[in-house]
Structure 1
């Protein structure tokens, strides 16, 4: 087991489960309860996370800090951690573009901190074999982070090369996976407007089994997560344009997810409601 002091900012649904795997690996994981909700506090307590009084304390006591937050906040979080004087290993495990990761590296450049690029693929880790943490960057720092999660439910995978590689892989996978949810929703809305939605689902179950199109309840799960997925699509669009692509698919998906932001974390929202939202009803 690895006995290390690790900080986490901020332990939402994904971040808390990632932090819990570091705890399972033997680390002492601290977080910042100031200003966080009662639900977040309860979750952190249940998962064995230890409270820190301030970011300055977190930066001073921890050798590794994990950033798992909405992509739009990733750069600001890095700047705040840098201002706190952190000089250890900073793992940005957010769904950001390689260009954004370069900005994060610049924010940390004068602190003495070492940046590791992380990309989480899969759901919050609760069972073995479902979730991977891809890592790229300076080899010694990557090895240190990999050691935190060895033999846990979160599988660390090293990508040889500089920062930006893990982020690129994460976004490429998310482009295929999450845009498929938006596409299924748009196709379902089109079919519903002509009274053939049930027929579409039946056809998809026959020819495309296991896809979101074949299971409205599956693509409807994007509704509660749209507030996070929309900014992620913007990062994908930026990365696409940086690679000479148009980014139009990701822009369109971002527009779809934007229509669902009122359903943040609402696990009861239905596909019918989300179709109505797409029509502006």
Structure 2
């Protein structure tokens, strides 16, 4: 049974940890400097708080942190990986651009650890059996297929380091981009007094699209702050032709995060448009 280190203890990291623990794997983490909420999620998931030396002895490292923290996390762990008794597999599972993934791989390389580029598509594993897909790429990608025996859905995507990240960026750019665009237009319609008319027209001509909005927009409120960095990574990934689009979407999510933490006026307007309030 493999020993897996998961960094850190957010909804996705804890969800994946819980699934692995349920299937018999040992999952380590570090709670040094973490919040009480993180410690609670780790405990509920069955993650074990470990010392740096214990972490270094893990077979597989899954980095599941906010995109902006991915490079620093790899650099911080590199000395421990170098001192480990075996060559661990370090999988960066964050929503980062292919270029950032290659930078992370370069920082891990001197440690002797094997690097795998990875991207998670979907939400955290649920008790009903739902599991997101973990796409992996690079020469050592097949090393993570062993986790399928512990309840994950790992799939190798063709290409070297950066291919899995490119897939994640492309998919998130479509789905989270549409969430931002639809939300922005709902809010604009509400400000312009056209909310009722727009909703009626969507019900008439785009019922499937409206149903998608009703399913995908509400979960965004609590995630917007995390999506800012992801949109900035996507802006880098798309290059000059579309970078401005995703930089603007990052600003939209930054504004939604501030509204969620404060007046919640935009949240209320979207809830009203979607018929949830």
Same fold (TM over 0.5): yes
- Quickly say closer, same or farther: Cα 1:207–1:155, change in 2 above 3 A: farther
1:103-252 mapped onto 2 (5 Å cutoff): 103-126=103-126, 127-138=128-139, 141-150=140-149, 152=151, 154-211=152-209, 215=213, 218-241=216-239, 245-252=241-248
What's the CA shift for 1:273?
5.6
Give yes or no for contact 1:224–1:265 (8 Å, CA) kept in 2: no
Asked if 1:43 is matched to 2:44, the reply is: no
| CA shift digits 1:223-249 (9 cap, x unpaired) | 2111111110010010101xx633222
User: Aligned partners of 1:264 and 1:137: how far apart in 2?
Assistant: 39
What's the CA shift for 1:37?
1.8
Give yes or no for contact 2:260–2:267 (8 Å, CA) kept in 1: no
User: Aligned partners of 2:98 and 2:124: how far apart in 1?
Assistant: 23
Q: State the aligned residue count.
A: 265
What's the CA shift for 1:216?
5.5
Q: Secondary structure at the match of 1:69?
A: coil
- Quickly say closer, same or farther: Cα 1:6–1:130, change in 2 above 3 A: closer
- Quickly say closer, same or farther: Cα 1:264–1:39, change in 2 above 3 A: farther
Asked if 1:57 is matched to 2:54, the reply is: yes
Q: Secondary structure at the match of 2:61?
A: strand
Give yes or no for contact 1:223–1:274 (8 Å, CA) kept in 2: no
Give the CA RMSD over aligned residues. Answer: 2.4
What's the CA shift for 1:147?
1.0
**Alignment counterpart, residue 76 of structure 2, candidates 80, 84, 90:** 80
What's the CA shift for 1:221?
2.6
User: Aligned partners of 2:210 and 2:134: how far apart in 1?
Assistant: 24
User: Aligned partners of 1:72 and 1:100: how far apart in 2?
Assistant: 10
What's the CA shift for 1:265?
8.3
Q: Secondary structure at the match of 1:161?
A: coil
After alignment, is 30-39 or 7-16 more displaced?
A: 30-39
After alignment, is 224-233 or 41-50 more displaced?
A: 41-50
Structure 1 counterpart of 2:19: 21
- Quickly say closer, same or farther: Cα 1:258–1:76, change in 2 above 3 A: same
- Quickly say closer, same or farther: Cα 1:63–1:130, change in 2 above 3 A: closer
The runs of 4+ residues in structure 1 deviating greater than 6 Å are: none
Q: Secondary structure at the match of 1:84?
A: helix
Q: Secondary structure at the match of 1:259?
A: helix
TM-score (norm 1): 0.86
